[in-house]
Structure 1
Amino acid sequence: MSDKWETVKPKPATNSKSNSKKTVPKPMPKLEDVLPAGSIQAMYTDYEPAPVAEVKKVPSTPKKDQKKTVVKKDVVPAKPKVPKNIQEAVKMNLRLDDLKQLVESCQTKFPDSPLLWLRDLAAYLNLKLVNEDKSEVGVFEGAPLSALTQNMKKLMYSVVQGVTESMLETYLETCLSNTAHDLAKGLDVDGWRVMTQVILDINPGLVTSNLSRLVELRNSYQNRPNIGLALLWSVGQAGKNDLQTGVRIWLEMMLPVMSMKHYTRFVVEYLGLLLNQHRITKDTVLSKPVMDLQNFVTVQDTVFLVSGQLSKDFGKQLRDLYPQLRAAALAGSRNHEIFPTLMDKLKNQNMPDQVLDSLEVLANCLLATPAALVHWQRVYTSHLSQSGQLVQYLDSNWSKYRGLQQNPEFQETIQAFQDYNISATHKDDIGLCRDGCAALLAKMAKGEGAWFPWKTLSFLLLIATASIINLDIQKNGEFSRSHSGAFFKDIGQYDRLMDISSRAQVVYGAGYSWTETNVPVYYSKIRSITGPALDNAVEQTKEYGVYVYGKGGEGLLLLQDQLVQVGAQLPGLKQRAGEFIIILQQGLNTCQEKVVMAYTEVVGGKVDWGKVQENVLIKISELQISLKSGLDWTKNQINQLIK
């Protein structure tokens, strides 16, 4: 064997199969196989101390230089100042020319895609209107749109008005959904809000085109109040210019979440702002209702039932707003379908306030449309309890619903109801109906008194005439020599008048003897019932009499002279006076019959002191008012004559 290296040559391939196999490379020799074992250990030994020595030898001064270098590398440019509010953001970051350039650029690049223009415009406003103010924005105060300049608003309105209604509907949903999504990411959404305001100012009805999808969007975020309130604020902008749309949004978007504590305040306050925005009062009568009857029933239940579950302040505020909302919802109660709907609903109502409210609506419906009376005729027998409540309510508030008497069918209907009540005494609740119908029929039979106090003035005129004649007789000694006697002789009625006078003296004598005996007894009886009210009436009567006979004497004489002069100037006065004397004679006969009848009833013990107790105070009060008015009128007339 030779000590020299031998070159080994590879064997040539014997066949094609062996050539097709892949050549597997031999593993590389390890470092330990090539170098001696000691040299490898020495290598690591010589290498390890070197870094340690370098670290220890590093002087302290380079650390300062290193620190300075680090400071220079960490220097960051100052952040731009964030505006404090939306107004400051508009001044600092928004320019009209930039907006125009953005719109023109979008229209040039995407001439057939208006949605891209509007989306880019909203995104641009989101960036430029960033500010620190995160306070709540009033619903109808106009912000953030109101912060823009007038020319900026004109530009945005012109862009939106150039888009078709279907595209605007799609874009409005985009604005509302992106408002929720961006708020969930913590981004600013003033751009989406501005575009929402512009769209709903132009076409408020777009928001109601697909409310079901908006309700789903609200449900998705209702557990995140900041996002849910932002959505309600955005859709609520439609109520600024359209009351009916605003009420529908309140019913479908806001009312279902009113009982949730984070939403109660906004929902109640929005209703108040909406009604005030359109100047709706409890006496407002709109041309058409703002909601259907089913929604009105829901509102009524909410006010009288659900409001008790709210906090005290918000519950009271909602009940205070109800009369205004009812006026807008019923539009004068001219819809005759209100009557059968509420009659059915009244059956299940237990809250006293709600029952009274339903009765008031039913009564107003009867007053507003005769067709409601037809509904009442159809349902009377099947709704006796509700009908009894209604007739009792009409009886208690007849002064308000007296206009029903002008409809002849109303009295006939009540009479028909009463006939049925008498024939169906075995049915429950018939007693309430019978009493109410009887009271209404009595009031309608009595009729409505005239507005002018003819009876009072006639009574006062009779007193004044008697006073004039009495003064005239006292001045001349006898009636035949007085001016009054001469006047009646001229008109040919002196003998007839003397006959009346003699008969009146007979009646007066009989009446005086009776009153002298019985009046003190009855006066003391009435005095025990009425108290000092009767004494006040008597004193005022005395005051009136003293004035007529005392200070007013001169005026009465002048009044007599004026009457004589008028008689001379009017040719037909004698004929009219004769007719008056005949009427007076007939009246005396009737009066005599009434006195005899009253005397018989009193002596026979037929006086109902219970009715006296009920009516005497009212009559005394009316007498006091009449006497005072008559005294004031007489004083004025006499003072004018004396002057």
Structure 2
Amino acid sequence: MASAGNWSVVGKTKKTKGQNQNLTKAQRKQFVDNMPRIAPLDPVKEDSTIYDAFVIREQQRYERKQQEKFADKIEAGKEPNGKGISDGAMKKKNVQKKKTEQTPKKKPFEDGIKEQSKVHFHENQLWLKGLVTISNINWALVTERNTEKYLKKESTDYPASLMKKGCTKVLTSVLADCNAATLEHVLYFCIMTMLDESQNGNSTYGYKIFLQLLVRGSPDIVLSKLQQYKEIVRSVQNRPERCMSVMWALGQVGYPSLRAGIRVWLEIMQPCLGSKAIGNFCLQYLETILSLHSKNLDQAGGEIKLREFFGLFDVLHGQGLPGDVRKRLMALYPQLKRIAHGKNVDSSLRNFFPSYLTRANPDTSKELKPEVLSCLMDCLSKDKHTYALWCQLYTKHLRQSRVLLLHISNNWERARGLLDLKLLQQTLMTFMRTNEEGSQGKNAGEWESMTTVCEDLLKKMSKPRFPWRLLMFFLISTVIAVVAYDVYTSKTLKDSKIVRFLEAYGVLGVLQKIWTTLVYYADIIFGWLQVNVPVYYEKVYNTVAPVVVKVAEALVQFWDNTKQHRTYVAEKVYSFAPSVWDEVGKYLALCWDFILEYTYWIQGHIAICYKHTYHWVEKNIIQGDFSTHYVQQTLTWSANKVQNFTLSAVEWCRQLWT
């Protein structure tokens, strides 16, 4: 402790800062010069890419324009600025021309694409993505007057048809050199980017063109990832424009290959048929590819599987589709059925027979039953293995088999020419034995009714058919043989017995007179037409032609003069109530559907009235007083009476003369 009066400071003493020394200008300059510096390096030189072709192309255009602009002045011995060209300048320009002649020519755009694709394509997918993006930016300058033109039925090649053929060939060849993995990656990139750009309101021409070329050139890349794109379509199904864009892109596989198009339609588009916004486009696509490949439907034979076909069959004959879509799809049903059955129907219809048979119920609708029975008849007539299959399914599908047997029995005259009678007889005998066994158990009434149906059909099969064709052939052959023999044995045609017979009874004279009369009047008519037709034609032409020309000119002039007024009136009328016109279109469509519905209703009642009329005529006229048997008895009685009166008259005359 410090004594009083002598205090000491405990702690560190502060260091005094040095005073700033004032520097002169020379010292400052020397200090700055001695400081370390960062020397800037030259920028890294960029690698040459395909996009250099655009720059080279623009340079060529600019140089060509400059040469054409000043070509006349240079030939006249003047510089572009108006001054004369000296000898030294001419020598320099000649030397420059020689140098430019020795330089190699610049490569065009197509060659640049090919060269860059060989270097980068197989190793780098980003190069192709960049090409797609740059192309979409360049094609964005195209005016999109009708953005939905690619969805129309007649625009199957749009928008790739906007490009020149040379550019299309180059892009197609570049895509053809790519492996499948790269193409799948680029396809997914183009579809997703197209959806994003369209949502932002940007142009998507480039993506659509690349999608069209890519999918049409390699359909397998779509089929291999179909489930993935099915999920994409399902996610955007509530947005019709985006959904139809994806469907359009995937549907391009159907133009080169019907088989691939049917597969895409079944997996992607068929579930959306019930949608009002998308169903029309899905059906339009199916109509387009089927009409495009209408002559080669067998190429896609068997592409529609059994379960898919009957799912479509039930939807088509059900009530799940709108009326217009159902009618249009019904028009395509025969082609779809042909594709489902395949080319070898003699071995494929046996797979369809059980499913058709289960739908031949007694309570089946009147619209569905004829189609099911017709398909069953096709199976029995074209695939003989279906008879054995029917025997196996008989006990499980007893009611359906009864409906089919009754149909064959009621249409026996037509069915006997289609079915194999020997196999049908064996099948019926098998059914008879099965009925005998089943009648001893439960539901004996059903088995007995089936026995009755089988017996009736067997009786019709055993009943001989009158040989009308054989009889007509025999009669015609006999007549020809008699005429030929008569002419052959006679010296001339006039000496034959047939000609003399015709002459004796005046038949030949009548025929000759008719022929002479026809020839005479034909000559008169032909002569009159030959003389008078040119005269009347000239008179009519001279009279009518000037009037027609004046009327046509007046109509054209009237149409041109009233164009502005018609446009004004149409705009004025539409501006009064714009929503009314849209409603009018809807009500017209509803009225048309109403008329069609009641037309079918009236047609059905007419058919019922016709059926009742036919039964009444058959019961009261054909089987009544005017039946064949009754008419025959009446004619026989009349002939006997006439014969008796004739004999009595002859006998009376004989007695009178004697």
Taking structure 1 as the reference length, the TM-score comes to: 0.54
Give the counterpart of 1:331 among 320, 333, 342: 342
Cα shift readout 1:48-75 (whole Å, capped 9, x = no counterpart): xxxxxxxxxxxxxxxxxxxxxxxxxxxx
Q: Does 1:147 align with 2:157?
A: no
Cα shift readout 1:602-634 (whole Å, capped 9, x = no counterpart): xxxxxxx95997878999xxxxxxxxxxxxxxx
Question: What's the counterpart of residue 369 of structure 1?
Answer: 383
Give 1:107 shift.
5.3
Give the counterpart of 1:250 among 242, 259, 265: 265
Give 1:456 shift.
7.7
Taking a change above 3 Å as real, the CA distance of residues 370 and 124 of structure 1, as seen in their structure-2 partners, is same
Is contact 1:102-1:121 (8 Å) kept? no
CA–CA distance in structure 2, aligned partners of residues 228 and 617 of structure 1: 73
Is contact 1:404-1:410 (8 Å) kept? no
Is contact 1:13-1:19 (8 Å) kept? no
Give 1:270 shift.
1.4
Question: What's the counterpart of residue 126 of structure 1?
Answer: 136
Higher RCO (CA < 8 A, seq sep 6+): 1
CA–CA distance in structure 1, aligned partners of residues 453 and 227 of structure 2: 48
1:71-220 map, 5 Å: 97-98=108-109, 100-101=111-112, 104-105=115-116, 108=119, 110=120, 112-130=122-140, 131-133=143-145, 134-137=147-150, 138=152, 141-220=156-235
Letter in 1 for 2:373: L
Taking a change above 3 Å as real, the CA distance of residues 238 and 285 of structure 1, as seen in their structure-2 partners, is closer
CA–CA distance in structure 2, aligned partners of residues 263 and 618 of structure 1: 65
Is contact 1:405-1:411 (8 Å) kept? no
Question: What's the counterpart of residue 15 of structure 1?
Answer: 11
CA–CA distance in structure 2, aligned partners of residues 234 and 249 of structure 1: 11
CA–CA distance in structure 2, aligned partners of residues 175 and 344 of structure 1: 47
Cα shift readout 1:477-499 (whole Å, capped 9, x = no counterpart): xxxxxx99xxxxxxxxxxxxxxx
Q: Does 1:290 align with 2:303?
A: yes
Is contact 1:221-1:227 (8 Å) kept? yes
Is contact 1:177-1:217 (8 Å) kept? no
Question: What's the counterpart of residue 428 of structure 2?
Answer: 414
1:372-451 map, 5 Å: 372-398=386-412, 401-406=415-420, 408-421=422-435, 424=438, 426-427=443-444, 429-430=446-447, 433-434=450-451, 436-446=453-463
Is contact 1:114-1:163 (8 Å) kept? no
Taking a change above 3 Å as real, the CA distance of residues 351 and 116 of structure 1, as seen in their structure-2 partners, is farther
Q: Does 1:358 align with 2:372?
A: yes
CA–CA distance in structure 1, aligned partners of residues 420 and 504 of structure 2: 46
Give 1:193 shift.
1.6
Cα shift readout 1:534-558 (whole Å, capped 9, x = no counterpart): xxxxxxxxxxxx9999444999xxx
CA–CA distance in structure 2, aligned partners of residues 275 and 393 of structure 1: 33
CA–CA distance in structure 1, aligned partners of residues 218 and 459 of structure 2: 56
Q: Does 1:454 align with 2:471?
A: yes
Letter in 2 for 1:256: P
Is contact 1:424-1:430 (8 Å) kept? yes
Letter in 1 for 2:127: W
Taking structure 2 as the reference length, the TM-score comes to: 0.53
Question: What's the counterpart of residue 225 of structure 1?
Answer: 240
Letter in 1 for 2:325: F
Give 1:151 shift.
0.9
CA–CA distance in structure 2, aligned partners of residues 418 and 614 of structure 1: 36
Letter in 2 for 1:270: Y
Structure 1: unaligned runs, 5 residues or longer:
1-10, 21-95, 466-482, 485-545, 556-608, 620-643
Structure 2: unaligned runs, 5 residues or longer:
1-6, 16-106, 483-495, 511-621, 633-658
Is contact 1:129-1:191 (8 Å) kept? yes
Cα shift readout 1:385-408 (whole Å, capped 9, x = no counterpart): 111111223334445543554462
CA–CA distance in structure 2, aligned partners of residues 399 and 12 of structure 1: 142
Taking a change above 3 Å as real, the CA distance of residues 189 and 401 of structure 1, as seen in their structure-2 partners, is farther
Is contact 2:428-2:458 (8 Å) kept? yes
Q: Does 1:301 align with 2:319?
A: no
Letter in 2 for 1:313: D
Letter in 2 for 1:127: I
Give 1:173 shift.
2.2
Cα shift readout 1:260-296 (whole Å, capped 9, x = no counterpart): 1101111111111121111069xx6668312110001
CA–CA distance in structure 2, aligned partners of residues 329 and 616 of structure 1: 51
CA–CA distance in structure 2, aligned partners of residues 262 and 154 of structure 1: 36
Letter in 2 for 1:254: M
1:308-327 map, 5 Å: 309-310=321-322, 312-327=323-338
Is contact 2:244-2:278 (8 Å) kept? yes
State the identity %. 23
CA–CA distance in structure 1, aligned partners of residues 454 and 263 of structure 2: 40
Q: Where in structure 1 do 4 or more consecutive aligned residues deviate above 6 Å?
A: 459-462, 546-549, 611-619
Is contact 1:247-1:290 (8 Å) kept? yes
Partner of 2:367: helix, strand, or coil? helix
Q: Does 1:236 align with 2:251?
A: yes
Is contact 1:300-1:354 (8 Å) kept? no
Is contact 1:257-1:264 (8 Å) kept? yes
CA–CA distance in structure 2, aligned partners of residues 231 and 210 of structure 1: 13
Letter in 2 for 1:414: L
CA–CA distance in structure 2, aligned partners of residues 424 and 553 of structure 1: 72
Taking a change above 3 Å as real, the CA distance of residues 391 and 611 of structure 1, as seen in their structure-2 partners, is farther
CA–CA distance in structure 2, aligned partners of residues 329 and 250 of structure 1: 14
Give 1:161 shift.
0.8
Is contact 1:272-1:321 (8 Å) kept? yes
Question: What's the counterpart of residue 30 of structure 1?
Answer: none
Give 1:182 shift.
2.1
Stretch moving more, 125-134 or 218-227: 125-134
Cα shift readout 1:324-378 (whole Å, capped 9, x = no counterpart): 2111111264411211233335459833322332222222112222221111010
Taking a change above 3 Å as real, the CA distance of residues 374 and 617 of structure 1, as seen in their structure-2 partners, is farther
Aligned residues: CA RMSD: 4.1
Taking a change above 3 Å as real, the CA distance of residues 444 and 128 of structure 1, as seen in their structure-2 partners, is farther
Cα shift readout 1:176-222 (whole Å, capped 9, x = no counterpart): 22222222222222222222222222222321112111011112211
CA–CA distance in structure 2, aligned partners of residues 186 and 14 of structure 1: 79
Is contact 2:121-2:128 (8 Å) kept? no
CA–CA distance in structure 1, aligned partners of residues 227 and 505 of structure 2: 85
Letter in 1 for 2:304: M
Is contact 2:216-2:256 (8 Å) kept? yes
CA–CA distance in structure 1, aligned partners of residues 461 and 10 of structure 2: 136
CA–CA distance in structure 1, aligned partners of residues 271 and 110 of structure 2: 40
